[in-house]
Structure 1
Amino acid sequence: MTGSCKLSTTQILSAILVIIIIGTLTAYAYTNANDALKDSVKGGMKSTVGVMATQINASDITGFKPGDETSPSYITVTRDMRAMRSMDDHILNAYILRVNQDKTITFLVDDLSQYDPQGSAKIGEVSTSPDKLEIFSALSGPTASKEPYTTKYGSFISAYAPIDDSSSGSTGNTYAVLAIDMSADDYNQNTSKGMLIILTGIVSIIIAVGAIFWFGRRAEKKAE
Structure 2
Amino acid sequence: MTSACSTTKKIWVSAILAIVIIGALTAFAYTSEQNALRDATLQGMKSTVSVMATQVNASDIAGLRPGDEMSPAYLSVARHLETMRSMDDHILNAYILKVNPDKTATFLVDDLYPLDPQGSAKIGEVSTAPDQAEIFAALSGPTASKQPYTTKYGSFMSAYAPIDDSVNDSSGNTVAVLAIDMSAKDYNDATSKGGLIILSGIISMIIAVGAIFFGTTGRRDTEKKAE
How far off is 1:223 after superposition? 2.9
Structure 2: how far apart are the matches of 1:223 and 1:213? Answer: 15
- Supply the AA of the counterpart residue of 1:112: L
> What is the match of residue 130 of structure 1?
130
In structure 1, the gaps of 5 or more residues are: none
Structure 2: how far apart are the matches of 1:171 and 1:52? Answer: 19
- Supply the AA of the counterpart residue of 1:71: S
Say yes or no: does 1:41 pair with 2:38. Answer: no
Residues 158-214 of structure 1: per-residue CA shift (max 9 Å, x gap)? 000000012542221100000000000000001100000000000000000000000
- Paired residues, number: 224
Structure 2: how far apart are the matches of 1:167 and 1:207? Answer: 61
> What is the match of residue 74 of structure 1?
74
Give 3-state SS (helix, strand or coil) of 2:213's partner.
helix
CA contact (8 A) 1:59 1:167 kept: no
- Supply the AA of the counterpart residue of 1:88: D
Structure 2: how far apart are the matches of 1:64 and 1:173? Answer: 18
> What is the match of residue 20 of structure 1?
20
CA contact (8 A) 1:144 1:157 kept: yes
How far off is 1:218 after superposition? 1.2
Structure 1: how far apart are the matches of 2:29 and 2:132? Answer: 32
- Supply the AA of the counterpart residue of 1:204: S
CA contact (8 A) 2:50 2:162 kept: yes
CA contact (8 A) 2:99 2:106 kept: yes
> What is the match of residue 114 of structure 2?
114
| Aligned residues: CA RMSD | 0.8
CA contact (8 A) 2:150 2:156 kept: yes
- Supply the AA of the counterpart residue of 2:61: I
CA contact (8 A) 2:103 2:132 kept: no
* Aligned-pair identity (%): 68
CA contact (8 A) 1:95 1:107 kept: yes
Structure 2: how far apart are the matches of 1:30 and 1:152? Answer: 33
- Supply the AA of the counterpart residue of 2:65: K
Give 3-state SS (helix, strand or coil) of 1:157's partner.
strand
CA contact (8 A) 2:54 2:167 kept: no
Which TM-score applies when normalising by structure 2?
A: 0.97
Which TM-score applies when normalising by structure 1?
A: 0.98
> What is the match of residue 2 of structure 1?
2
Structure 2: how far apart are the matches of 1:8 and 1:172? Answer: 73
Q: Which runs of 4+ in 1 moved over 4 A?
A: none
CA contact (8 A) 1:7 1:220 kept: no
In structure 2, the gaps of 5 or more residues are: none
Residues 74-101 of structure 1: per-residue CA shift (max 9 Å, x gap)? 0000000010111100000000001111
Matches within 5 A, 1:161-176: 161-166=161-166, 168-176=168-176
